[in-house]
């Protein structure tokens, strides 16, 4: 994964542990270097923790607490050194302050040198690892885009503003098994509490959400979906649309259509 996850649900799915190994690894490598996304993950964890409240509450048996407190008490007692342990040993001479300080200084110098080398090696390793992941992700991304753009049976759809075809515009490259590429230009920023939501409208049934997004300051936005919901046999994509919806998106469109388009 090169950029930030596109949808808020990606953080929920990661926190839930529902992502398969490859998707999980891609997101994990991104999270390691992105503070903003780590915060979103923490928020997703807090939110999902609430689902536990749906379980009817049962009081744990009393003996669990007793056993726990016994263990805690034993750990605390073990952590306090006994009087016997404080008696001077036959190695007391070696523990004289001057000798101890000299040893400590030597150990500190050696440790510093080792830590410095270790840190440099780790940095090099981390940088190469990040570079490798970036190249892998970039190659996968390019393959998806190339496959969609060059596929002879890819549907190419131009989406324009419902009432005025002169300004915001988007293109969809859609293939039922290869995925979908969406690219929009000249889109104004959505209001604070709103997001844009992309919909696939099947020839039968309700629209299917393909994600929510916000354009960048230049008014550009893109969504790449390597996998899509499987449509029932005989059902095709009738149209694509972008609507303006409450933050976080909605299961079915409720807001005004900003862009619509149908395959030729």
Partner 1 sequence: MSGTAHAFEQESDAGLVSRIASQDEAALAALYDRHSGILYSLVRRILRDESASEEVLQDVFLHLWRIAPRFDQQRGELRSWLLVMARNRAISYLRKRPLPESDDVELYAVSSTERQDVVVVQNDLIAKVRRAMSQLPGEQCSLFEMAYFEGMTHSEIADRTGQPLGTVKTRLRTALTSLRRAFQL
- DSSP-derived 3-state class of residue 134: helix
Annotate 77-130 with DSSP letters as a single string: HHHSPPTGGGS--TTGGGG-HHHHHHHHHHHHHHHHHHHHHHHHHHHHHHHHHH
Q: Return the residues of window 188-247 that contact partner 1 according to CB under 8 A.
A: 208-209, 227-230, 246
Site for partner 1 in 39-58 (CB under 8 A): 39, 41-43, 45-58
Whether 223 and 212 have beta carbons less than 8 Å apart is answered as no
The DSSP letter of residue 188 is P
Closer residue to partner 1, CB minimum distance, 19 or 158: 19
* List 6, 19, 25, 136, residue binding partner 1 (CB under 8 A): 19
The yes or no reply on residue 7 touching partner 1 (CB under 8 A) is: yes
How many residues bind to partner 1 according to rule CB under 8 A? 54
Question: Which residue of 4, 71, 129, 143 would you call a contact of partner 1, by CB under 8 A?
Answer: 71
Q: Pick between residue 168 and residue 207 the one whose CB is nearest to partner 1.
A: 207
- Of 236, 119, 123, 136, whose CA–CA distance to 176 is shortest? 236
Dihedral angle over CA of 185, 31, 24, 210, nearest 10: -20
Is the Cβ–Cβ distance between 238 and 147 less than 8 Å?
no
Note whether 129 binds partner 1 by CB under 8 A.
no
- The answer to the question of residue 169 lying near partner 1 (CB under 8 A) is no
Q: Out of 32, 64, 105, 204, name the contact with partner 1 by CB under 8 A.
A: 64
3-state secondary structure at position 179: strand
Q: Interface residues with partner 1 (CB under 8 A)?
A: 7-9, 12-13, 16-20, 38-39, 41-43, 45-61, 64-65, 67-69, 71-73, 75-76, 79, 208-209, 227-230, 246, 248-251
């Amino acid at each position: 994964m090169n950029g930030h996850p596109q949808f808020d649900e990606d953080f929920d799915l990661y926190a839930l542990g529902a992502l398969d190994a490859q998707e999980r690894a891609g997101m994990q490598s991104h999270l390691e270097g992105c503070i903003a996304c780590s915060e979103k993950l923490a928020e997703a964890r807090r939110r999902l923790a609430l689902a536990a409240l749906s379980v009817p509450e049962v009081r744990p048996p009393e003996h669990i607490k007793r056993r726990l407190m016994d263990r805690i008490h034993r750990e605390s007692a073990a952590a306090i050194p006994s009087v016997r342990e404080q008696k001077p040993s036959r190695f007391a001479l070696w523990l004289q302050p001057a000798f101890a300080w000299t040893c400590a200084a030597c150990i500190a110098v050696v440790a510093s040198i080792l830590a410095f080398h270790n840190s440099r090696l780790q940095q090099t390793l981390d940088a190469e690892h990040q570079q490798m992941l970036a190249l892998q992700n970039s190659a996968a991304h390019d393959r998806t885009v190339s496959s969609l753009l060059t596929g002879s049976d890819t549907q190419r759809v131009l989406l324009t503003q419902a009432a005025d075809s002169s300004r915001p515009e988007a293109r969809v490259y859609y293939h039922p098994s290869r995925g979908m590429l969406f690219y929009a230009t000249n889109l104004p920023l959505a209001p604070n509490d709103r997001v844009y939501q992309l919909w696939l409208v099947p020839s039968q049934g309700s629209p299917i959400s393909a994600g929510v997004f916000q354009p960048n300051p230049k008014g550009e936005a893109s969504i790449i979906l390597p996998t899509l919901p499987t449509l029932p046999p005989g059902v095709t994509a009738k149209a694509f649309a972008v609507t303006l919806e409450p933050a976080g998106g909605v299961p079915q469109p409720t807001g005004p259509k900003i862009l619509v388009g149908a395959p030729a």
